[in-house]
Structure 1
Amino acid sequence: MLISVQALRALAAWMVVGVHFMQLFFDFEAHNALEYLLADKGGIGVDIFFVISGFVIFLATADKALTPWRFMLMRVARIVPAYWFYTLLMVLLVATVPSMFPYEHLEPSYVLMSLLFIAAPSEPGVEVYPLLGVGWTLNFEMLFYVLFSFALSVRASYRLWVVATLLYLACYIGPTLGLASGFYSNGIVLEFLMGIVIGMLYRRGLCRTKPWLPLLGIVGASMAVYHGADLPRALEWGIPSAISVISCVALEPYFKGSRFLKMLGDCSYSVYLIHVPVLAAGQLIAKRMGIDPYAMLLVCVVVTALGAYGSYHWLEKRPYRVLKHWFGVDDRGIISRQKY
């Protein structure tokens, strides 16, 4: 993956950490400009993730002989092990320290649907969230992967239109016919398409420009997000996210060779998964011991960063290699003829 995109992934993950810090420690009540930015704008990290996902998945499959089934196996190998680990960790925490998550419950059907990326209410009449709350975005990710897998049967230049059609059918027509959950009727899915468009432009060499233009794009996107607008999320945050992604792609020559930024990006998925349990534990300790929230935040950041580093190596990288070997796919993502 491009180092510039890795850096943006890392930034997006830590923005989401900021949102949940404000949620758990202050119930979204901002007392200064920084808290306002975290509470009100940090959620754009999810939108950046979705645009990056469309970009990465398009490029990762553009020149590879992957069948839909093999593609899904590889996505499962990449996403599921760490997600299942932290979901089961949530089961353990809710069962043993219920005061950390007072609104959660452990009905077997709810836990199972959380593990299987099936959108279901955490409680009757409550918004759809899996047991590990951040997993709601992975429900969208898995839907995107399933639909994109069907697009692998056509040329790369046509995949945008196939995925767009399938997303429209699944997210807008399906719910009206009772064939899909209304959870998916969310314009945020359009951000995957934005990422695919950026991938197509990059593949055609159309993301090269003088550095002042992408820098201007980042500034403009930041200002648009800060001032906000009464628009659907896909426009208010999706467009600035797409501008930020394509701007970082254009600045890639200035990021090359940075192992630190690559490492931050590598760990971003684990940061995303691990930070809620860490913050919840920190909030409980801070409340009981009277510790300043920002002092505890510093501790939580360190624990999250170190935990994510270990998680990337032990729960992402190693299981992915093992499963990839089992599935008979080499480093280029091509099915090994020796095994199949």
Structure 2
Amino acid sequence: MSMLQGQAHPASRVMGIQWGRALAAIAVAVAHAISHPSASAPGASHLVGRVGVALFFVISGYIMVVTTSQGSFSPLDFMRRRLLRIVPLYYIATAVTVAGVLIAPWAFKQTTFDLKHLVLSLLFVPAHAPSGDINPVMKLGWTLNYEMFFYVLFALLSGLTALKRAIGLSLIFGVLIIAGLTMEFHSAAAIFYTRIDSLAFVAGVWLAVATQGRPVVLSRQAMLTLVTFVVGVLTVILATYDRNDTNPMIQVWIIATCVAIVGLLAFGTRPLEARMPSWATVAGDASYAIYLFHLFAVAAVTVAVRKLLPPEFLVPGMAAAAVAGVAGGLFIYWLIDRPLDRTLRRWSKRVRPAGSLGVQPITP
């Protein structure tokens, strides 16, 4: 029996990717709900969060290719749409963080900043925080620094075909990663952009290039093979996982499992569409808001559990914190993100120059 069969319904690929975004956001929320109250949280929680972030990156690489097709596109139109989608909610989250530090510093003990650090954070430039860490003021924004860097490079190669763009991105990120593995840097930007994490974007790009124009549906045999691969690799990693281990091959295998997950979601979810609850798609739409805002709710619930309940309620408290994190993100999505995004999209259509290429990626 062939590993690939038939043609996929285009909407099923988008639907599956939305489920993937929901899975990634929930994974990060769960990881933080477990690790926030306990510095000695099990390695499994850290691994779950790490997989969630890598999954976001692979999906970004995949979707950028799918939404810009095989040919060239307008780099200015592309970047305008990406900025309109990413910047407003991130700035709101940063403003909430800054307000929290100024109003209730006791609740943000691990968050410090100065004016220079704040400005660089808003410009998506990696910089050393006053604490010495390479994090923006809103710490979860470190992933957006990678995203924006990827978008800029993707836009700079907009005049190429999808295949040549993939080759160009592979060369650029490959050189950066090799430099990071073989050289010692002191600049925050140099340290940040030479980490192996960015390999996930390239992997997503190649998955899209390899499959675009050849829509397929995975057979049961192929799906079982991919599921076995994902479970097997993550089980092996977890058996000896140490969150302080800097072995780059761990990240390579994590990225490989995320590529398999995206493949499953993009080409194997059509039979599940009718049976999946609507909240799964909504959670995918809200994944960006969940990612940016879940930690506020997680921290609030964790503090409440510590102060009001005995120690034996630690695990139920973690579960409650995870649920609160996801629920808080959904609330922000309905209250702020969704209406704001719709308003900006309408405005963008009115001001878009005639003849510019419309690039309409689904939400990050």
TM band (smaller chain): 0.7 to 0.9
The equivalent position to 2:94 in structure 1, one of 73, 87, 90, is 87
Separation in 1 of the partners of 2:353 and 2:66?
Answer: 18
The equivalent position to 2:50 in structure 1, one of 31, 43, 46, is 43
**Residue 11 of structure 1, CA deviation:** 1.3
Alignment pair present for 1:184 and 2:193: yes
The equivalent position to 1:136 in structure 2, one of 137, 142, 161, is 142
Which amino acid is the alignment partner of residue 68 of structure 1? P
The aligned residue for residue 100 of structure 1 is 107
Q: What secondary structure is seen at the aligned counterpart in 2 of 1:158?
A: helix
After superposition, give the CA deviation of every residue in 1:239-276 in whole Å (9 maximum; x if it has no partner): 11111111222213123354332112111111111111
The equivalent position to 1:293 in structure 2, one of 299, 314, 323, is 314
Which amino acid is the alignment partner of residue 134 of structure 1? L
Which amino acid is the alignment partner of residue 287 of structure 1? R
Separation in 2 of the partners of 1:194 and 1:39?
Answer: 22
The aligned residue for residue 33 of structure 1 is none
Which amino acid is the alignment partner of residue 114 of structure 1? S
The aligned residue for residue 291 of structure 2 is 272
The equivalent position to 2:324 in structure 1, one of 287, 290, 303, is 303
Which amino acid is the alignment partner of residue 306 of structure 1? A
Which 4+ runs in 1 deviate beyond 6 A? 174-179
The aligned residue for residue 5 of structure 1 is 17
- In structure 2, relative to structure 1, the CA distance for the partners of 1:123 and 1:172 (3 Å cut) is farther
Alignment pair present for 1:148 and 2:160: no
- In structure 2, relative to structure 1, the CA distance for the partners of 1:269 and 1:278 (3 Å cut) is same
- In structure 2, relative to structure 1, the CA distance for the partners of 1:139 and 1:172 (3 Å cut) is farther
Which amino acid is the alignment partner of residue 293 of structure 1? L
After superposition, give the CA deviation of every residue in 1:81-100 in whole Å (9 maximum; x if it has no partner): 11111111111111222222
Alignment pair present for 1:239 and 2:256: yes
Which amino acid is the alignment partner of residue 159 of structure 2? S
**Residue 127 of structure 1, CA deviation:** 2.6
The aligned residue for residue 224 of structure 1 is 233
Unmatched 5+ residue regions in structure 2?
A: 1-12, 241-246, 357-364
The equivalent position to 1:262 in structure 2, one of 281, 300, 304, is 281
Q: What secondary structure is seen at the aligned counterpart in 1 of 2:266?
A: helix
Which amino acid is the alignment partner of residue 32 of structure 2? H
The equivalent position to 1:74 in structure 2, one of 69, 72, 81, is 81
Separation in 1 of the partners of 2:260 and 2:267?
Answer: 11
Q: Is the 8 A contact 1:160 1:196 kept in 2?
A: yes
Q: What secondary structure is seen at the aligned counterpart in 1 of 2:218?
A: coil
- In structure 2, relative to structure 1, the CA distance for the partners of 1:180 and 1:308 (3 Å cut) is closer
Which amino acid is the alignment partner of residue 115 of structure 2? P
Which amino acid is the alignment partner of residue 123 of structure 2? L
Separation in 1 of the partners of 2:327 and 2:47?
Answer: 27
Separation in 1 of the partners of 2:291 and 2:168?
Answer: 30
Q: What secondary structure is seen at the aligned counterpart in 2 of 1:204?
A: coil
Separation in 2 of the partners of 1:120 and 1:40?
Answer: 25
Separation in 2 of the partners of 1:312 and 1:321?
Answer: 12
Q: What secondary structure is seen at the aligned counterpart in 2 of 1:15?
A: helix
Q: What secondary structure is seen at the aligned counterpart in 1 of 2:113?
A: coil
Q: What secondary structure is seen at the aligned counterpart in 1 of 2:228?
A: helix
Q: What secondary structure is seen at the aligned counterpart in 2 of 1:2?
A: helix
**Residue 56 of structure 1, CA deviation:** 0.7
- In structure 2, relative to structure 1, the CA distance for the partners of 1:233 and 1:329 (3 Å cut) is farther
Separation in 2 of the partners of 1:83 and 1:183?
Answer: 20
- In structure 2, relative to structure 1, the CA distance for the partners of 1:227 and 1:278 (3 Å cut) is same
Between stretches 280-289 and 161-170, larger displacement belongs to 161-170
Q: Is the 8 A contact 1:170 1:180 kept in 2?
A: no
- In structure 2, relative to structure 1, the CA distance for the partners of 1:50 and 1:233 (3 Å cut) is farther
- Taking structure 1 as the reference length, the TM-score comes to 0.86
Separation in 1 of the partners of 2:322 and 2:140?
Answer: 17
Identity level (%): 23
The equivalent position to 1:208 in structure 2, one of 209, 213, 217, is 217
Q: Is the 8 A contact 1:41 1:226 kept in 2?
A: no
Separation in 2 of the partners of 1:208 and 1:58?
Answer: 19
Aligned length: 329
- Taking structure 2 as the reference length, the TM-score comes to 0.81
Separation in 1 of the partners of 2:338 and 2:353?
Answer: 19
Separation in 1 of the partners of 2:46 and 2:188?
Answer: 35
Which amino acid is the alignment partner of residue 45 of structure 2? L
Alignment of 1:103-114 (within 5 A): 103-114=110-121
Separation in 2 of the partners of 1:310 and 1:79?
Answer: 18
**Residue 166 of structure 1, CA deviation:** 3.1
Please report the RMSD computed on the Cα atoms of aligned residues, expressed in angstroms.
2.8
Alignment pair present for 1:167 and 2:184: no
- In structure 2, relative to structure 1, the CA distance for the partners of 1:218 and 1:335 (3 Å cut) is farther
The equivalent position to 2:69 in structure 1, one of 50, 62, 74, is 62
- In structure 2, relative to structure 1, the CA distance for the partners of 1:336 and 1:317 (3 Å cut) is farther
Separation in 2 of the partners of 1:336 and 1:318?
Answer: 25
